[in-house]
Amino acid sequence: MIVNKNYNELLDSFGSYGEYQDKFIALDRDKNDHKAWGKAKQLNSKNSYHTYLKNYYNGHYSNEAKVKVDEFIHLEKKKQLEEKKLKDIERAKEQKAWELVLNKNNKEDYENYLKFYPTGIHKQQAKININKIIKEEKQKFNDYNILLKYSNILVNNEFMLRKANNLDELKNTTNIYYKNSFSIPKAIDKFTKLKRLSIKYPFEGKVRVEVPLSIGKLIHLEELAISNCTSSVGLSIILPNFKKLKHLFLSHLSNFEFDNFSARLLPNLKSLNLTACDLYGLPVEIGASIKLERVDISNNNLIEIPDAFKYL
C-alpha cells in the first residue's frame, strides 16, 4: 500500500511539473511579446507592426498592432493622393507652358522649356523642334545668301540695279532683275512679296538653261519677263498660278508649249509679248481675253493670225 501511494504521488508530481513548464513557457512568451511590442512601438512603422503581427498574430497587442497598420495604410493612400494631385497640377502647368512654347515656335522658348522641365513629358519633342529650327535657319541663311549673290533689285521700276543691304530687305523685295546668269536658284520662291520678276539668260545657244519651276509659287507676280531660255517646257504649267499677272514678256524661248496655254487662266493680263518664241500658231481664244490690250508676236513662224485678234 505504501508503495502504491508513493507511486501515485510521484505521478502527481510529474503532472504538476508539466503545468509548471507550460506556465513558464507562457510567461516567457508574454515577456517576449511585450518586448517585441515595445520594439515595434519604438520603430513605429508599418513594417515594424507587420513584423510584430507575423510573430504574435494573437498576441496581447495584436489588435492595437492591426489598428496601427491600418493607420499607416490610410496615411500612405492619403499621401499618394496628395502627390498625384500635385503631379496633376504640375503636369497641367507644364502642358500650358508647352502650348505657349508651341505657339511661339522658336529656339529660345524651346530651350527655356528644357531648362525649367529637364525631365518634362515633351522633352524629346522640344529637342526635335530645336534641331528642326536650326536646320531651317541654316537653310534659310544659305538660300538668302545664294539669292543675294545672284539677284539685283529693280529700283522704282527703272533699271537701276543694286544689291540688297540685308536679308530683311531681300525678303520684302517686290522687284527683281536677273541678268546673264546660267542658274536661277530654286530658293527664289522665298521672295513671297515679289510683284515683278525679270530673268534674262545669257544668249548662248549651246548651253541649256531652264526656267525654274519654283517661280510658280510667286503668286503675287504682276509682271514677268523671261528671255533667252533654251528649255521652257514647264513654263506653260506654272503660268496659270499667276492670277494677278498683268504683263507677260517672253522672248527668244525654245520649246514653249503655247498650244496648252490659255489666256483665260490669266484673267488680269493686259499685255502679252511673245517675240521670237519659235511659234507656228496661236490659241484662238487668246484674242478674246477681256482685259488684254496689247500683243507682240513678232519674229515668229506664224502662218496665220486668229480672227479674234481684231477685237484687241
Judge whether residue 15 has pLDDT over 60: no
Q: Which distant-in-sequence residues (6+ apart) come within 8 Å of 53 by Cβ?
A: 59, 62, 65, 66, 69
> Is 194 exposed, middle or buried, given 0-12, 13-18 or 19+ CB atoms closer than 10 A?
buried
Contacts 24+ apart (CB under 8 A), 38-45: 40/65, 44/68, 45/72
CB of 207 closer than 8 Å to CB of 182: yes
Domains of the chain: 2-99 (no CATH), 151-311 (3.80.10.10)
| Residue 127, pLDDT score | 94
Q: Residue 229 is inside which H or E element, if any?
A: strand 223-229
| pLDDT tens profile 229-280 | 766 667 777 888 889 999 998 888 877 766 656 666 788 988 888 888 888 7
7-11, 198-202, 223-227, 275-279: least confidently modelled range: 7-11
pLDDT band per the 50, 70, 90 thresholds, residue 206: very low
Q: Tell me, rounded to whole angstroms, the distance of Cα 251 from its chain centroid.
A: 44
130-139, 219-228, 250-259, 281-290: least confidently modelled range: 281-290
CB of 201 closer than 8 Å to CB of 222: no
Q: What pairs with residue 253 in β-bridges?
A: 229
Q: What whole-number distance in Å separates Cα of residue 261 and Cα of residue 310? A: 20
Residue 281 DSSP label: -
CB of 120 closer than 8 Å to CB of 113: yes
pTM of the predicted model as reported, rounded to 2 decimal places:
0.48
CB of 224 closer than 8 Å to CB of 249: yes
pLDDT band per the 50, 70, 90 thresholds, residue 47: very high
| Residue 44, pLDDT score | 92
Q: What whole-number distance in Å separates Cα of residue 133 and Cα of residue 99? A: 17
